[in-house]
Amino acid sequence: MLKELPRLSSQIQDKNPWWEYKKDTYLHPDGSEGEYYYIHTPGAAMMIPITDDGKIIMVRQYRYLNRRESLEFIGGGVKPGKSYEESAREELLEEAGVIAEELTRIGEYNPMNGATDEICNIFVAGSLKRTAMKPDVSEEFEVLEFDYTHICELIKDGSIWDGMTLAAFALFAQYKQNFIT
């Protein structure tokens, strides 16, 4: 069994409304001290909304750091004092103008385990009702619908390049396979 690496101290280096940049001092496996810098978040939720006719709702948005548009599942950070499910429902409304009567958690993952402690919960949303979008001031979305096969093609040709969306789709593919068989 691998050794747990004990944390000796933890300091916030910087923070913003979405995450904290932290520095931990910890013990290496050989007993010497080391420093680890990482991003701490309260978590994230990502939704895969399915319409009554089987289409999957996605959003296109501009991603500042990559200087290009990205086609993604709906998602965002867990807000302070909110659960993953509450945050998922808020993100659906903000980004796509959708209210889901059904929300099923299908898994979780860490989007980049060497740089963040964030855990992202994935939900499938069903029994959808359309309403007005309520995006944050820093966000702009184009809401699109695709069938499962088209999403596979968009992944294959590189049109879908967002890592969190790709990981969520892998969990969804497994869920879909188990649900159908």
In a domain, 123, yes or no: yes
Q: Which residues is 24 bridged to in the sheet?
A: 10, 36
pTM of the model: 0.92
Cβ pair 75, 164 in contact under 8 A: yes
Same domain, residue pair 64 and 125: yes
- Beta-carbon contacts of 55 under 8 Å, excluding residues fewer than 6 positions away, are 145, 146, 147
Cβ pair 141, 134 in contact under 8 A: no
Same domain, residue pair 63 and 11: no
Cβ pair 43, 84 in contact under 8 A: yes
Cβ pair 23, 10 in contact under 8 A: yes
Same domain, residue pair 60 and 118: yes
**Tens-binned pLDDT, residue by residue, of the chain (181 aa):** 999 999 999 999 999 999 999 999 999 999 999 999 999 999 999 999 999 999 999 999 999 999 999 999 999 999 889 999 999 999 999 999 999 999 999 999 999 999 999 999 999 999 999 998 887 787 889 999 999 999 999 999 999 999 999 999 999 999 988 765 4
Domain that residue 101 falls in: 44-180
